[in-house]
Amino acid sequence: MSEAVDFERTVMQKQDAPAGECVFVAKVIDGPDRGRTLTLDGAQPSSVLVGQSPACALQLTDREVSRRHIALEPRAGRLHLRDLGSTNGTYLEKLRIIEAELSGGEVVRIGSTCLRFDRMPLAPASAPPPPLNAFGRLLGASPEMRRLYPLCARLARASIAVLVEGETGTGKELLAESLHEQGPRAQGPFIVFDCTAVPANLVESELFGHERGSFTGAVASRRGVFEQADGGTLLIDEIGELDLALQPKLLRALERSEVRRVGGDRARKFDVRVISATRRNLDQEVQAGRFRDDLFHRLAVARIELPPLRRRTGDIPRLARALWSSMGGDEGELPEALVRQWNDDAWPGNVRELRNAVVRRLALGEVELLEPSDAAATDDAVDPAGAAQGAHGAHDAHGATGILEHIISMGLPFGTARQHVLDAFERRYVERTLAEHGGNVMRAAAASGVARRHFQRVKSRSLK
Ligand SMILES: Nc1ncnc2c1ncn2[C@@H]1O[C@H](COP(=O)(O)OP(=O)(O)OP(=O)(O)O)[C@@H](O)[C@H]1O
């Protein structure tokens, strides 16, 4: 392979392929598994794998192929191919590739195996996705979301372990909760454990519980999240962050359906459905030896990958309007121009970021009405760095800077100007937090980290 050209990160894409409903067939045309095929019809819940591991949809015996070598995912008439950090690389003709958009007819080499990818029109018998606009509280009518719903419905009824994958803010927790709510365990508890939310030395006792005196600070016995979730569902969030040393203990607990509290000697049985979620690419984590293959199999009996918001065709305006109404906004008061602007934004924080934008708009309406050109002029003068931000970050900065500029330009004495800024901040903070918590003062106070009475006082003062 001396003549191969290596790229740091390469996205190959043929320009001439027509989009549309189709299936892709991957066929091994050379190598020890010659003749084997894999059909990808887009009905898969997430990307499918090719490699030596039993987790792979196309399992190869080729020793030069990594356990998880490539991932394949049909996307809008093309096949997205991703190398999963393989040892020997993935080659399209002589180019070593990291990612590629295939449109059919390509031959890809992994190890000593050659795969040919053919694209075929979808048989007419294949029905279009059913016209569902949501699964539980997870909204979205894009084809990318709709194709997940039938699987979600089936998984809700089952009790098998599910791994939910997706970027931050794509709704992994909401999906897990919806799976719980739509299934037979709905009456049981839904417990969320976030592997990043507690210090590393406490993760074990949070998961499995502890007995009194088992470590400094263990003043009382405590049930772990498995015991708490008994009869219901446990969401283990950010599973990719779980310390390698703890992974065998979790595996054992799942295999035996029992936990032993830290410092305890009695095994306690549990009846829990486990859903795990991750922002990381767990295939790559397994490949890199940071996540155990056996635990992965236990957790990922089924996999669902939530697409990023930017890939959900038509969902941004729909979600914006639905979120606006659900938070008490009057229909028709969300300006079309703003919805169009949002539709063009990238939303790296996905639905969470869009939701926050809607909340902000509801609470701060008139501030965000600043014309972008006026705001940009002000912003550049005050904060040159602001101009370098992405469209979204810049937009965020304009609101705050706009208020400050406005107050400063009033020519008030320092003390009075500062008081105005504080008043404006308090008013907007209270409005926004209340809007985020459906007007419930108790929950808004808890989210703000202050006592309810204090929050109520600030609210009375600032919203009078
Ligand atoms: N499809 C959706 N419909 C309605 N609301 C959604 C949807 N997806 C996400 N949300 C909302 O966006 C916010 C973020 O969702 P969630 O916490 O489930 O994302 P996540 O993928 O678990 O994020 P993270 O990886 O950062 O933990 C929540 O307020 C959730 O209710």
Closest C-alpha to 261, from 197, 207, 201, 195: 207
Supply the angle between the helices 441-448 and 414-436 in degrees, to the nearest 10.
120
Whole-number Å distance, alpha carbon 355 to ligand 1 midpoint, is: 9
Mutating to test ligand 1, I would choose from 137, 326, 355 the residue with most ligand atoms within 8 A of its C-beta, which is: 355
Q: For residue 30, what pLDDT band results from cuts at 50, 70 and 90?
A: very high
Lowest mean pLDDT among 113-127, 162-176, 285-299: 113-127
Which tokens belong to 32? Answer: 């020890």
Instruction: Specify the ligand 1 atom closest to the Cα of 315.
Output: 1
pLDDT recorded at residue 365: 65
**What was the pLDDT predicted at 219?**
80
| Contact of 237 with 194, CB cutoff 8 Å | yes
Say how many Å lie between the CA of residue 29 and the centre of ligand 1: 43
**Sorting pLDDT into bands at 50, 70 and 90, what band is 81?**
very high
What angle do helix axes 350-368 and 336-344 make, rounded to 10 degrees? Answer: 140
Give the model's confidence band at 411: pLDDT under 50 very low, under 70 low, under 90 confident, else very high.
low
Secondary structure string (H, E, C) spanning the chain: CCCCEECCCCEEECCCCCCCCEEEEEEEEECCCCCCEEEECCCCCCCEEEECCCCCCEECCCCCCCCCCEEEEEECCEEEEEECCCCCCEEECCEECCEEEECCCCEEEECCEEEEEEEEECCCCCCCCCCCCEECCEECCCHHHHCCHHHHHHHHHCCCCEEEECCCCCCHHHHHHHHHHCCCCCCCCEEEEECCCCCHHHHHHHHHEECCCCCCCCCCCEECHHHHCCCCEEEEECHHHCCHHHHHHHHHHHHHCEEECECCCCEEECCCEEEEEECCCHHHHHHCCCCCHHHHHHHCCEEEECCCHHHCCCHHHHHHHHHHHHCCCCCCCCCHHHHHHHHHCCCCCHHHHHHHHHHHHHHHHHHHCCCHHHHHHHHHHHCHHHHCCCHHHHHHHHHHHHHHHHHHCCCCCHHHHHHHHHHHHHHHHHHHHHHHCCCCHHHHHHHHCCCHHHHHHHHHHHCC
The protein residue with its alpha carbon nearest to ligand 1, atom 13, reads 352
Closest C-alpha to 149, from 158, 161, 160, 138: 138
Rounded Cα–Cα distance for residues 119 and 48 (Å): 16
Locate 53 and state its tokens: 């591991």
For atom 25 of ligand 1, the residue with the nearest CA is 168
Nearest atom within ligand 1 for CA of residue 194: 27
pLDDT of residue 383 exceeding 60, the answer is no
Angle between helices 350-368 and 414-436 (to 10 degrees): 140
Task: Give the pLDDT band (50/70/90) at residue 379.
Answer: very low
Which structure tokens are listed for 146?
């709709």
Pocket of ligand 1 (CB under 6 A): 138-140, 166, 168-174, 237, 277, 279, 351-352, 355
Does pLDDT of 18 surpass 70?
Answer: no
Q: What digits encode the pLDDT tens for the residues 311-329? A: 999 999 999 999 998 888 8
pLDDT of residue 77: 80
Report whether pLDDT(341) > 70: yes
Tens-digit pLDDT profile for residues 51-62 = 998 778 899 999
Specify the pLDDT at position 427: 83
When pLDDT is averaged across residues 376-397 and rounded to a whole number, the result is: 33
Give the pLDDT of residue 42: 61
pLDDT by residue (tens digit) across 212-257? 887 777 788 899 999 999 999 999 999 999 999 999 999 999 999 9
pLDDT at 45 over 80: no
Which stretch of 127-131, 368-372, 456-460 has the lowest confidence by average pLDDT?
Answer: 368-372
Name the residue of 137, 174, 181, 321 whose CB sits within 8 Å of the most ligand 1 atoms, as the mutation to test its pocket. 174
Distance between CA atoms of 368 and 338, rounded to whole angstroms?
10
Kindly tell me if the per-residue pLDDT of 281 is higher than 80.
yes
SS (H, E, C) 215-250: CCCCCCCEECHHHHCCCCEEEEECHHHCCHHHHHHH
- Report pLDDT for 284: 85
Radius of gyration of the chain from its Cα atoms, rounded to whole angstroms: 26
The mean predicted confidence, pLDDT, of the chain is: 81
Distance from the alpha carbon of residue 224 to the mean position of ligand 1, in angstroms: 25
Residue 235 vs residue 395, higher pLDDT: 235
